[in-house]
Amino acid sequence: MTIHIGAKPGEIAETVLMPGDPLRAKWAAETFLENPVCVNEIRGMLGFTGTWRGNPVTIHGSGMGMPSLSIYANELIRDYGARTLIRIGSTGAMQDYVKLRDVVLAMTSSTLSTPSRGIFRELNFAPCADYGLLEAANAAARAKGITTHVGGIYSSDVFYDERPDLNEQMTRHGILAVEMEAAELYTLAARHGCRALAVLTVSDHLLTHEALPSEDRQSSFSDMVEIALEAAFA
């Protein structure tokens, strides 16, 4: 076990799906995995391991924001041998053609800062997804008839943003959507030679101010989890 993960050796799979919300990790594990077992509940951050089509899978919460995700991703990779990490989460659309319930596959992630910035200093490192995962996820989404967008996203340091000028520039430069974790996940995966991808469901829209009702979110999020699992084992 580590400081933040109480799983025993062998209880974490090489493939890990990472929603921000620990209760969403519980829901996803109970919905999609066979024989899921809770392997972590330290600080309320739930993790479950089971199988999907015979393949071992762990679904573990990351918390909100890059600092929180960095803690769990580091420990999952360094101490438990995770090799494929897929973020599954919600995102806010930043282009008018990206609609509620669409799925965004993050090819790259721009950011003002990440917990890894101290390593790079003056270098603007460009974190990107694993191409194999990205290609497989796109194929899985298209096979299901799900409207999907592939491109750059923005990983923000803050939820309550007060930089409308920055958002305008993101939209102007084709950024598809905003969330809070992917850039650090991609950076850590690059550092440790792992595969990473963010599969995101559009739950709200920064331009139209639309938002999915809570009762509609679960059915929309199901598509995202299925795409992530298909991609991991393509």
Output the known binding site: 4, 20, 24, 43, 87-90, 179-181, 203-204
CB 174 within 8 A of CB 198: no
What does the block give as tokens for 93?
């659309």
Which structure tokens are listed for 204?
């709200």
Q: Is 21 assigned a catalytic role?
A: no
Burial readout 123-139 (b: 16 or more C-beta within 10 A, e: otherwise): eebebbbbeebbebbbe
Which among 177, 192, 57 has a CA at the least distance from the CA of 107?
A: 177
Structure tokens at 25: 């990790």
Q: What's the one-letter identity of residue 231? A: A
Note the residue count of the chain: 234
Task: Select which of 79, 96, 204, 216 is catalytic.
Answer: 204
Q: Which residues are annotated as a binding site for phosphate?
A: 20, 24, 43, 87-90
* Residue 154: closest CA among 192, 186, 119: 186
Which residues are annotated as catalytic? 204
